[in-house]
């Protein structure tokens, strides 16, 4: 399903939005995070998928591969850690941000506790950052989060709390725990009265965009279309804002894709305001199984996203297989359930002969983001028939 957004504008990046998210602060975040040994110091690969582009009938298809950002396996390694650095500096302004994740202030931070709800990747990234800095960390997960994902978070020393209900219930529980103990919530979604920390999470995602612009510039290329995953909207806001500031009125066309049963951004576009999903919010794309739109993210998405789109779980599974097996002669890629949403949408539209509905033709240069690798290894192998290690071994060095 596709929905054209009548509010999308091809103008210069608005000054009011630049006060919240901007390239200068994204570059600062990049510098601060660069000292964390857990992150790949070279950034992440930028794959040119020439075979898939030819099969789709387009000029170019590029994939920014966040599976290689760190052992955490996803783009979330940039968001929660960036927010934690900013939060610590707010309370301890004399600390050197580049030394926080080197553990040099563990004694000072031993009582500075943080808590968050998660579907998996955000909580894992926060737990790892808290462990590195010395902050106590509690992570709230909901009924649909697998045991495999829970163990991956707990491996970084977090105190785990599991509740019944869905992701939105876990957000409420994290807020309750924080108030009870006087701890701080580090969430990637915003709500009334809570915007500063989600803003810093989104700004961390701008690091991806900064790297990608540099990689595009090295090839003297500019994409005509950028497709990003939905979720609560923070990723899309953090990345699209950077590209909008970079290219101004000549920005690429922006498309957001979500699971059909977790369509909060799609519904927000229909209603013209932050809205809730209408489906079960239970998707194999666990990182996108979100029921409530982030209010601060919507401020960026409403004036910039040209199309909102929905895909089914099977679309994602098929795209995982395609990337894993290097179909069309392309480099095999470890694309997780949520990571492949952009490719899944392209495949779906191509099958339905609808690529032109979002302005894609033989001259189009499309950029998508593989936002996670095999963050649930057993599930990944079940879907693709391969392990992440087998795929990496086949990649062109």
**For the CA atoms of the chain, what is the radius of gyration?**
19
Instruction: Assess contact for 6 and 302: CB atoms under 8 A.
Output: no
For 95, counting Cβ atoms within 10 Å of its Cβ (0-12 exposed, 13-18 middle, 19+ buried), the class is: middle
**Whole-number Å distance between alpha carbons of 93 and 53:** 48
Give the three-class secondary structure for 333: coil
Which residues neighbour 48 within 8 Å (Cβ) at sequence distance 6 or greater? 60, 61, 62
Given a contact cutoff of 8 angstroms between Cβ atoms, the answer to whether 275 and 293 are in contact is yes
Q: Which among 240, 243, 148 is positioned nearest to 202, based on CA atoms?
A: 240
For the chain, give percent helix, strand, coil, nearest 5: 50, 15, 35
Residue 65 CB-density burial (10 A; 0-12 exposed, 13-18 middle, 19+ buried): buried
| Residue 397 is a catalytic residue | no
The answer to whether 57 and 330 have CB atoms below 8 angstroms apart is no
SS3 277: coil
d(CA 52, CA 47): 11
| Sheet (strand 46-48) strand order | 2-4, 307-311, 253-259, 225-229, 365-370, 60-65, 46-48
Q: 78: which 2 tokens? A: 């940039």
d(CA 69, CA 301): 25
Choosing from 119, 168, 188, 330, which is the catalytic residue?
119
The residue from 64, 76, 200, 263 that is catalytic is: 76
Cβ atoms within 10 A of the Cβ of 41, count? Answer: 8
- Please state, in angstroms and rounded to a whole number, the distance separating the CA atoms of residues 290 and 301: 16
Tokens read off for 395: 């990649």
Question: Ramachandran region of residue 182, left (φ > 0), alpha (ψ -120 to 50) or beta?
Answer: left
Residue 169 known to be catalytic = no
Which residues are designated catalytic?
76, 119
């Amino acid at each position: 399903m596709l929905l054209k957004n009548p509010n999308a504008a091809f103008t210069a990046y608005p000054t009011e939005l630049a006060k919240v998210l901007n390239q200068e602060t994204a570059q600062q975040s990049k510098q601060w995070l660069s000292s964390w040994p857990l992150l790949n110091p070279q950034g992440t690969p930028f794959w040119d998928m020439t075979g898939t582009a030819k099969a789709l009938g387009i000029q170019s298809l590029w994939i920014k591969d966040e599976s290689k950002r760190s052992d955490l396996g996803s783009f979330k390694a940039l968001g929660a850690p960036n927010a934690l650095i900013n939060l610590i500096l707010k309370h301890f302004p004399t600390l050197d941000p580049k030394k926080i994740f080197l553990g040099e202030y563990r004694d000072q931070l031993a009582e500075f506790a943080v808590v968050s709800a998660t579907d998996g990747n955000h909580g894992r990234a926060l737990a790892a950052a808290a462990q590195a800095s010395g902050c106590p960390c509690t992570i709230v997960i909901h009924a649909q989060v697998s045991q495999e994902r829970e163990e991956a978070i707990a491996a970084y020393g977090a105190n785990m709390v599991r509740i019944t209900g869905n992701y939105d219930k876990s957000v409420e529980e994290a807020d309750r725990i924080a108030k009870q103990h006087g701890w701080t919530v580090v969430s990637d979604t915003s709500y009334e009265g809570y915007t500063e920390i989600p803003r810093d999470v989104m700004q961390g995602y701008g690091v991806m965009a900064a790297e990608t612009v540099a990689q595009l510039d090295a090839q003297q290329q500019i994409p005509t279309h950028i497709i990003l995953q939905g979720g609560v909207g923070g990723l899309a806001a953090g990345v699209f804002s950077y590209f909008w500031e970079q290219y101004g009125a000549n920005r690429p066309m922006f498309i957001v894709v979500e699971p059909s049963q977790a369509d909060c951004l799609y519904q927000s576009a229909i209603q013209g305001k932050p809205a809730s999903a209408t489906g079960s919010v239970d998707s194999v794309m666990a990182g996108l199984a979100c029921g409530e739109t982030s209010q601060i993210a919507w401020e960026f998405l409403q004036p910039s996203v040209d199309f909102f789109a929905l895909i089914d779980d099977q679309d994602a599974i098929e795209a995982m297989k395609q990337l894993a097996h290097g179909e069309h002669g392309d480099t095999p890629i470890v694309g997780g359930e949520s990571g492949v949403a952009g490719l899944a949408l392209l495949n779906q539209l191509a099958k339905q002969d609808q690529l032109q509905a979002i302005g894609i033709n033989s001259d189009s240069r499309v950029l998508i983001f593989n936002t996670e690798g095999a963050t649930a290894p057993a599930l990944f192998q079940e879907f693709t028939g391969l392990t992440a290690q087998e795929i990496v071994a086949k990649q062109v060095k």
